[in-house]
Amino acid sequence: MAWNWELRDWPDFIRDRQKLATREARFLEQAGVLIGTSRHISDEDRIELSISVMSLEAIDTSQIEGETLDRASVQSSIQRALGLKAARTSARPAESGIADMLVDLLQTSGDPLSDAMLHRWHRKMLSGRTDLKSLGGYREHEEPMQIISGASYAPKVHYEAPPSRDVPSHMAAFIAWFNQTAPTGEAPLLPIERAGLAHLWFECIHPYEDGNGRIGRAISEKALAQGRQRPVFTSLAGALLRHRKDYYCELEFASATLNADRWLNWFADIALEAQGRSLRQVEFMLSKTRLFDRLAGQLNPRQEKALLRMFAEGIDGFKGGLSAKNYMTITGAPTATATRDLADMVAKGALVREGELKSTRYFLKLD
């Protein structure tokens, strides 16, 4: 079987831009809505939103690779990387590393892509790894770089990347293309086409010993963010995680052809799904502002603390809702006080109550 990088016209991917036209227009329209809506968020809430989105991105992009991270540790690592006061929580290298990489991505989203930038991301993301020969550098091993599954005695090869000796030249061509197709480049491309091709091309080169998927997704985020007035994450990893099986299947299919239409059509739907979630996150923060403005002076410190804790969980909120026991843990309130506080917040329209007795749970009531 021939891989796409072995084909004569590599890396000239074939695609029909008309097939993406409607979704490119929708993406740009929603990007404008996202930027416009985010202008109504306070600076404090904007920082909180960035931390929340980056935390989810770190957790989701790692979960795609089968690695589970602790959310609190990731959040505190991101806060420290941003120079903000953070809770004293211990973080493993995997958590602090991916946090540092995503903060770097956010802060340099408008900068040209380079070998140095990618190597920096690789070092940050895989800090603490002692099993890699080339940490912060392209792979150099002579054995084939393969993606395989199945038993060791009967492995299935899903993909084999170019030999290590050819990686520098492949990456030079890729980086030149990426910068030329930026909104300010010589041959700008629309965001979905550029982000989708960038991810596919990078994954086909597979330039690192490990971490190619996470860096490839970061490159796509960079492509989607460039050209905006404000750098905003599209939450791409979360959408890819929700469709992980299809994600791997589509990449495998695309790795054997230079016709990128099927891949780009699939990726376009993922990008729009991710963008929609980003917009919901911004609207969630606006709902928070409106709720606290409406209830200004009507909540006691315990109630405010509990509501802030619920908002900190993001748009998915507490899994299964807030219980009286959760409230007592968060605020230190005794049972009777917790019952009164929660009933008062329901009466004031801050919470919605569902269930009875021990099954009672509370959810944010948002407009």
> Has residue 229 got a pLDDT over 60?
no
Q: Do the annotations mark residue 321 as ligand-binding?
A: no
pLDDT beyond 80 at 254 = yes
Percent share of the chain, pLDDT over 70: 97
Q: Is 192 annotated as a binding residue?
A: no
- The whole-number pLDDT of residue 19 equals 94
Give the pLDDT of residue 151: 67
Q: Alpha-carbon dihedral of residues 199, 201, 205, 207, nearest 10 degrees?
A: -40
Is 216 marked as a binding-site residue?
yes
Task: Report the C-alpha gap between 67 and 367 in whole angstroms.
Answer: 36
pLDDT of residue 364: 93
> What's the chain's average pLDDT?
91
Does 136 show up as a binding residue in the annotation?
Answer: no
pLDDT at residue 66, as a whole number: 92
Domains 4-284 and 301-364 share a fold: no
How far apart CA 4 and CA 319 sit, in angstroms, is 43
Q: What is the pTM of this model?
A: 0.89
Confidence check: pLDDT of 86 > 80: no
Q: What is the pLDDT of residue 230?
A: 60
CATH topology of domain 301-364: Arc Repressor Mutant, subunit A (1.10.10)
Give the mean pLDDT of 300-306.
Answer: 96
Which architecture characterizes domain 4-284 according to CATH? Orthogonal Bundle (1.10)
Q: Helices 21-38 and 261-294, interaxial angle, to 10°?
A: 20
Residue 227 pLDDT? 58
Would the annotation count 227 as a binding residue?
Answer: no
Residue 103 tokens read as 């903060």
- Say whether pLDDT at 231 is over 70: no
| Each residue's pLDDT tens digit, 24-58 | 999 999 888 888 887 888 888 888 888 888 999 99
What ranges do the domains of the chain cover? 4-284, 301-364
- Between CA 288 and CA 307 the distance in angstroms is 9
Stronger pLDDT, 164 or 315, i.e. the higher one: 164
| Phi, psi (degrees; rounded to nearest 5) at 206 | 50, 60
Query: Is 210 labeled as ligand-binding?
Result: yes
206 given a catalytic annotation: yes
Lowest mean pLDDT among 222-231, 260-269, 322-331, 333-342: 222-231
pLDDT confidence of 318, banded at 50, 70, 90? confident
**Active-site residue, selected from the candidate residues 40, 119, 206, 243:** 206
